[in-house]
Amino acid sequence: AKAVSHYLSKSRPTGQRIPLPAVPGAPEGERELEEGIEESPLGDEGSERPGSIILLGDEPVGERERIACERVAPLLALEIVRVAAELPANAGRGEARTLPAEGPPWVAIAARQPRPHEADVPTLRRELRLLASPRRFMLRGSNESLEVRIIAVADASDPGAAESARKVAKRLKRPVAVSRPFTDASARPAAEAEARAALESLERRIGGRAGSGGEQVVRAELLPAHQLLGSVMTIPEGRRLALALLGPLLVGTAAARRQRIETVRAILDAPGSSEASSSLGVHRNTTAYRLKRIEEVTGWDLREPDLRLALSLALRILDAEGGFDGSRSE
């Protein structure tokens, strides 16, 4: 993986390049080239070179490795052509080239792409490509796109491509939205628009602050729920009521206030104490002790559903309006 990262960042020369042979009968132009991938020379008319095998590593490439790759190259070239031929028959040529080969079903994943002053965008996009096989995961757009757009395979091993979406959110350190699965290649634009709408709904709910929202994964089928939560942010006197409810937590030093708020937030957002402790980066016993102290100080019983709902809404209202001191923090 380290050698591949170095190769993609062009910080070191390749060890050895073994071109794949041209495959007779492969239609020219069938393979769409993403930015940053070197185009392979075409062979004879009616044939195409699908690419090359690149040998990487710290050790020098020997004759045995070179001969092995030359023997494997024809089989690999045939496999690439076979996969391309298995794309849906009803897909237009343009659409077929924008979908991973192992689908359907597929999903669209959308996130805000960092600006150049926020991150090394070319390197980030290369790292995103390495999160999964190209047959299951296709990055669209370019370094200048406003969004990161991905088409991923959704199957029994990863329903709704939830695991793929979590990996993207973790690498970007920002929320991502996932469309509902689709099986027709022509439905890709609608799926991307659906994911974008879910992402925009979350941004409205959290106040549209760049980089806010953590590493959430927003599912498009829950769009009405996100829209409902967004509407709650506009209730009259929402900030005043939220501060009044959370007042018992907002006493003492800044560090103590922050710890109480983070603990309550983790307990409300996580499905169990183990997950809450993991998000806080502390032992389960530490989380249990903090929870006990919070309930003693406030008189709350955080097992009460109505209280949990009200606290969750109060935290979201204050997040959307700039936090507890009224200043928007990035």
Domains and CATH numbers, the chain: 2-85 (no CATH), 106-228 (3.30.70), 235-320 (1.10.10.2840)
Q: Where are the alpha helices (DSSP H) in the chain?
A: 2-8, 63-85, 93-96, 121-129, 162-172, 188-205, 223-232, 238-246, 254-269, 273-280, 284-298, 305-320
pLDDT confidence of residue 321: 67
pLDDT confidence of residue 326: 46
Of 141, 119, 108, give the one whose Cα is nearest residue 35.
Answer: 141
Tens digits of residue pLDDT in 190-237: 888 888 888 887 777 665 544 445 677 888 777 777 777 767 767 778
Residue 44 binned pLDDT confidence (cut-offs 50, 70, 90): very low
Asked if residues 199 and 112 have their Cβ atoms less than 8 Å apart, the reply is: yes
**3-state SS, residue 11:** coil
- In the predicted model, what is the mean pLDDT of residues 70-85? 78
Percent of the chain with pLDDT over 70: 76
pLDDT confidence of residue 96: 47
Judge whether residue 294 has pLDDT over 80: yes
Residue 285 binned pLDDT confidence (cut-offs 50, 70, 90): very high
Supply the DSSP symbol for 48: E
State the average pLDDT for the chain.
76
Q: Which residue has the tokens 């490509």?
A: 129
Judge whether residue 244 has pLDDT over 70: yes
Which residue type occupies 330? Answer: E
Phi, psi of 17 (to 5 degrees): -115, 125
pLDDT confidence of residue 88: 47
More confident: 84 or 18: 18
Q: How many CB atoms lie within 10 A of CB 55?
A: 19
- pTM value is 0.51
Q: What is the rounded CA–CA span in Å between residue 309 and residue 183?
A: 37
Q: What is the rounded CA–CA span in Å between residue 178 and residue 298?
A: 38
